[in-house]
Homo-oligomer: A and B are copies of this chain.
Amino acid sequence: MSDDRRIQVAVCGPGDATQAEETAAERTGQLLAKRGCVLICGGLGGVMAAACRGAKTGGGTTIGILPGSDHTAANPWVDHAICTGFGQARNAVVAATAEAVIAVGGGFGTLSEIALALRLRRPVIVLGGWSATLDTSEGREMIALLGGNMEHVTSPDEAVEAALRAIQPK
């Protein structure tokens, strides 16, 4: 890795997001940039665009891993558009490329990114969305049984701290 290499953290969430989810994603992206991280995301709208917008406001670098082969599908805050052409399977690339994943909001694509990241032993921080489902006693027990590294948080600040703390020991 080059000297210009920085920690890569993904912000995952639906393209069709609520205002609250977009606000949380934007703040998360901005904080990641300020902490020197490169933002990884799926490159499209909603949570992905909000996170990129935040990262650019924070002076950071953004990478959008697109489902298709057309660079222009990237949102206006993507610096580097990676065209996979793999449709939903690009979620596996997002999960693998990130050193930690912050999941903001619901959506089945987001759940697949959570699962694929845990499968690859990447730490996952959940802010809202799937928290209601996965942060039950049954969910916690199952994740623990499988050795997953998952943390539930309630703010973007906590999410970024948790992500960086989880990456550190590596």
Contacts and interface: CB of A to CB of B under 8 A. Distances in A.
| This chain: copies in complex | 4
Given A2-B77, A108-B148, A63 B82 contact: yes
Interface stretch (A21-29, A126-134, A151-159): A126-134
Contacts of A52: 2
A111 interface: yes
Contacts of A133: 133-134, 136, 138-139, 142
A67 B81 CA distance: 18
A108 B131 CA distance: 16
A112 B109 contact: no
A69 B2 contact: no
Interface in A96-115: 96-97, 99, 106-109, 111-112, 114-115
A79 B4 contact: yes
8 contacts: A1-B74, A69-B120, A82-B97, A84-B84, A84-B92, A85-B88, A91-B92, A111-B111
Given A107-B146, A132-B138, 20 more contacts: A1-B71, A1-B74, A1-B81, A2-B52, A8-B80, A80-B80, A82-B82, A84-B84, A84-B92, A85-B87, A85-B88, A85-B92, A86-B89, A108-B119, A111-B114, A111-B118, A130-B142, A132-B141, A133-B133, A136-B138
